[in-house]
Structure 1
Amino acid sequence: MTLLEVRNLEVTYPGGAAAVRGVDLSLAAGHTLGIAGESGCGKSTLALALLRLLPAGTRVTGEILLDGEDVLAMRWGRVRAVRWARASIVFQGAMHSLNPVHRVGDQIAEPIVLHQGATAAAARRRTGELLRSVGLPVARAAAYPHELSGGQRQRVMIAMALACDPRLVIADEPTTALDVMIQAQILRLIRRLVAEQDLALMMVSHDLAVLADTCDRLAVMYAGRVVEEGPARRIYEDARHPYGKALSAAFPRIGEPASRFAPRGLAGDPPDPSAVPSGCAFHPRCPVALDVCATQDQALREAAPGHLAACVHTRTPVADTVDTAEVSVAEETGETS
């Protein structure tokens, strides 16, 4: 059963920056969807738009259906009721999201009291259960945010997101500020909670390896659009869009010395959302672009069963066309073969 369906979502900030352009996505209960891309590709804007958390003056069009109800058409009172109770978000950077002058237990208990009408005693009991579920001792409820480690604060944020038993959890870069060991612990925790509580999870990250290890499906965004979508592991191992391939190659892989000694990347930066190039937005950075790419945008089309890509080379694996990473490195260093 589809829990979340996004149809033709467009988000334009005051001043004309088109951060999200015509995005279509769906997510079923008990499933996980990763949203990948560089900074500035529209990932976090998409996540915030789902719960109407964007700044005043932002223009949002399209449909965001949560259990069939359009979030964009809701009155504000209804939106406030939906947040926490049906859908919640784990923000990037727990230290900036937690109130520094309140104990973390009180911050977890607050939505339980407000949204579920629980007594203070019941909220404290529920807070203890939530802390245990994320691997923290109940005694940490009395701590202030600055008294916790980065990993502990992130666990508190996850406990807060689960406080009112939502069906959808949106995690915006939940492990970015954490070291590798703590990141692995948080990812194991997220996978366990999704399985145990039958949650629908949307996870935002720039790291394809993290998303491939955590999510069922993956949507790669560039310049506000989804340019590739499909099974997460398949995209990580065999991307059919040059941008997806570049993201996958950007991180060294354990057991592959070549990826450590010859780091790969992609020259340049995503375009300014207020000045997106014509045609395929990726063509100025794409090493396999054709003339048509500069004038004609590419729609998502089937690259393999259940795997879509918006590229003229969709039917041919990108690796068979040209090695995106090698061309990018050559461009940056000025080397030619």
Structure 2
Amino acid sequence: MRAGDRDGAQSEAGGPPVTLDVRDLRVAYGSGARAVPAVRGVDLTVAAGQKVGIAGESGCGKSTLALALLRLLPASASLSGRILLDGEDVLTMRWGRLRAVRWAGASIVFQGAMHSLNAVRRIGDQIAEPVLLHHRVTPAEAGRRVASLLQQVGLPAARADAYPHELSGGQRQRVMIAMALACDPRLIIADEPTTALDVMIQAQILRLIEQLVAEQDISLLMISHDLAVLADTCDRLAVMYAGRVVEEGPAREVFSAARHPYGRALSAAFPRVGDVSSRRAPRGLPGDPPDPSALPGGCTFHPRCPVALEACAEEPQELAGAAGAHRAACVHANGSVSASAGRRPR
């Protein structure tokens, strides 16, 4: 990949250009011996027009990863690795260039719109702000752009005069999507965009995101706790645990036939429609994710793993499998050991 290639970098297989290419990304909070690792060597690729999901429990590093992509982390965070956005490394950009890339190159839809919208400004003014800044148009032109964006996300143009508290939760989330689209970015990062919404509105917002991504040929990186949502929305899925990607592959395949015990546990936590046993006794995963400041040795999942071997406590596992296919960081990734075999003594 050539730095500065604004048309994106061609994938190694000759497929669509690569919009986002993350290599060995590491993020830690604090410094020296007290530094706490939040993201530990993540590799991630999002091609043009592709939808990629990131799943995992709270505390696994998903949101830190999302914020790191546009260097939105606090000053206490240290970053290393490579984040190529259209072939240009975000980590080495000067602040002026980084400011231009935010919104216009990539934008973020945060969870909880009321935490992102200014309560004392009309939503039309808030949507127009990045348009005026990046496109340098007249206020009248920005107003027409705002009206068009609101219509794209299913809101009447007249709602531009409303304040955030005058809108429902679903309408506010549509405003956040309109803001993310304001400067025609090539990549949208959606961090739990439907967490605070009821299931009916959640479905509408997800369909809206899918439709806009398809119509405008935008790449999408969506973060969620809900593996089923990601499987239904995304092309590929990466599962994170303790700051690392432990499984990745085609979204529906990861959801229905996970190869990592953690991926299987996440999938099993969702009752299947028509499956009476799963509805009456949904399976979960005992315990909690490890403290990032005191990670266990070997495979970090081994203290909670139902099929861990003695060696799992000593040997860290790397993603294994064919490049671009379904890969998992587990000794059982090839499926040679069943979910009930290989249990270590407890």
**Which TM bucket (shorter chain)?**
over 0.9
Q: 1:235 to 1:133 in 2, by over 3 A?
A: same
Is residue 240–residue 317 contact of structure 1 (8 Å, CA) maintained in 2? no
TM-score, with length taken from structure 1: 0.94
Q: Which amino acid aligns with 1:11?
A: V
Alignment of 1:113-132 (within 5 A): 113-132=132-151
- Distance in 2, matches of 1:317 and 1:129, equals 54
Pairwise CA distance, 1:321:
2.6
Which of residues 314, 322, 333 in structure 1 aligns to 2:340? 322
Which of residues 279, 289, 305 in structure 2 aligns to 1:286? 305
- Distance in 2, matches of 1:168 and 1:69, equals 14
- Name 1:7's counterpart in structure 2: 23
Secondary structure, counterpart of 1:83 in structure 2: helix
Give per-residue Cα distances to partners, 1:102-126, cap 9 Å, x unaligned: 0011000000000110110000100
Secondary structure, counterpart of 2:140 in structure 1: helix
Give per-residue Cα distances to partners, 1:170-216, cap 9 Å, x unaligned: 00000010000000000000110111000000000011000001000
Which of residues 236, 244, 248 in structure 2 aligns to 1:217? 236
- Name 1:334's counterpart in structure 2: none
Pairwise CA distance, 1:281:
0.4
Q: 1:83 to 1:317 in 2, by over 3 A?
A: farther
Is residue 220–residue 227 contact of structure 1 (8 Å, CA) maintained in 2? yes
Is residue 303–residue 309 contact of structure 1 (8 Å, CA) maintained in 2? no
Q: In the comparison of the two structures, how many residue pairs are matched?
A: 325
Pairwise CA distance, 1:322:
2.2
Give per-residue Cα distances to partners, 1:9-35, cap 9 Å, x unaligned: 000001411000000010011000000
Percent pairwise identity: 73
Which of residues 82, 85, 93 in structure 1 aligns to 2:112? 93
Is residue 7–residue 64 contact of structure 1 (8 Å, CA) maintained in 2? yes
- Name 2:12's counterpart in structure 1: none
Alignment of 1:1-337 (within 5 A): 1-14=17-30, 15-302=34-321, 306-316=325-335, 320-322=338-340
Is residue 240–residue 303 contact of structure 1 (8 Å, CA) maintained in 2? no
Q: 1:321 to 1:286 in 2, by over 3 A?
A: same
Pairwise CA distance, 1:257:
1.7
Pairwise CA distance, 1:57:
2.2
- Distance in 2, matches of 1:101 and 1:142, equals 12
Is residue 42–residue 221 contact of structure 1 (8 Å, CA) maintained in 2? yes
TM-score, with length taken from structure 2: 0.92
Q: Which amino acid aligns with 1:75?
A: R
Q: Which amino acid aligns with 1:321?
A: A
Pairwise CA distance, 1:317:
6.9
Secondary structure, counterpart of 1:274 in structure 2: helix
For structure 1, the residue ranges without an aligned partner over 5 or more in a row are 332-337
- Distance in 2, matches of 1:218 and 1:191, equals 15
- Distance in 2, matches of 1:303 and 1:61, equals 26
Pairwise CA distance, 1:275:
1.1
Secondary structure, counterpart of 1:301 in structure 2: coil
Pairwise CA distance, 1:304:
9.6
